[in-house]
Amino acid sequence: MEHLAVHLPYEALLRGPVHYGWMYQYERAMKYLKGKAKNLAKVEGSIIAGSLTEETSHFTSYYFASKVRTRKRAPRRYDDGGVAPTYAVAGVPDIFSQIGRLGGKSKEVWWSSEEDAHSAHTYILLNCEDPLIRYFESIFVSQVEETFPGISTTDVDKRKDQHFIKWLKNQVDFDDDADYPKWLHEVIQSPHVKVQQIRAFHLSFTSISS
């Protein structure tokens, strides 16, 4: 190991970047071609025949109906059957468009209290990682710090939990000059009193259970 500091720079000086001397990609290619050699008596012809068959099947698959499962249309390796939700409005943040699938039996439940619904609504808005929401959040924090000089970060967070939703709704609903996206007008509304509860949500082979 003590010679690496000498040999590797010398090797790079002679032939340039080290990775140009690697043989891994050629070894992989040779293994791929050898897999087509079914007739060992005529290796070259066997490889050519296998390559022609592969190219023919690849290009003819484009003429099949979309419902026909082909190698080109096979699902990804890490695909657990999830689908991305669709919305009638554009520009919805990515956090609301995660690919996944529901699991378990669904049932309709009521919010146990208005405080729980308010807490859930606030949590979603403050964690959706959207630039527009972040912009309003920074304005709210600035106004709180101007109104209460020297206020601690903990108290600012408490005021966000208590008043940010109502403040944001007033900012969006009564600002006639601004053209805010439709999804923002919808996401600031209070949650439905009656909601559908699912036992689990499967996201990228990870199950989130309630």
Q: Is the pLDDT of residue 22 over 80?
A: no
State the DSSP code for 190: P
> Do 193 and 120 share a domain, yes or no?
yes
User: Over the chain, what is the mean pLDDT?
Assistant: 82
Contact 126, 160 (CB under 8 A): yes
The stretch 38-48 carries a mean pLDDT of 81
Residue 37 falls inside a structural domain: yes
Contact 183, 92 (CB under 8 A): yes
Domain boundary residue, one of 43, 63, 83: 63
Domain boundary residue, one of 13, 44, 63: 63
- Tally the domains of the chain: 2
> Do 155 and 58 share a domain, yes or no?
no
Buried b / exposed e across 143-169, counting CB within 10 Å, b at 16+? ebeeeeeeeeeeeeeebbeeebbebbe
Confidence of residue 159 (pLDDT cuts 50, 70, 90): very high
> Do 116 and 160 share a domain, yes or no?
yes
Query: SS3 for 72-98, per residue?
Result: CCCCCCCCCCCECCCCCCCCCCHHHHC
> Do 52 and 121 share a domain, yes or no?
no
Quote the pLDDT of residue 175: 80
State the DSSP code for 196: E
> Do 32 and 99 share a domain, yes or no?
no
| Rounded CA separation 203/96 (Å) | 13
| Rounded CA separation 140/184 (Å) | 17
Q: Is the pLDDT of residue 28 over 80?
A: yes
Query: pLDDT tens digit string along 92-117?
Result: 888 888 777 777 788 888 888 888 88
Confidence of residue 208 (pLDDT cuts 50, 70, 90): low
Residue 125 falls inside a structural domain: yes
Rounded to 10°, the helix 153-173/131-147 angle is 120
Confidence of residue 140 (pLDDT cuts 50, 70, 90): very high
- The β-bridge relationship of strands 206-209 and 200-203 is antiparallel
> Do 107 and 155 share a domain, yes or no?
yes
CB proximity list for 152: less than 8 A, separation 6 or greater: none
What are the E-state strand segments in 80-209? 101-103, 107-110, 194-197, 200-203, 206-209
> Do 203 and 133 share a domain, yes or no?
yes
What pTM value is reported for the model?
0.56
| Rounded CA separation 35/54 (Å) | 12
Q: Domain limits at 58?
A: 4-63
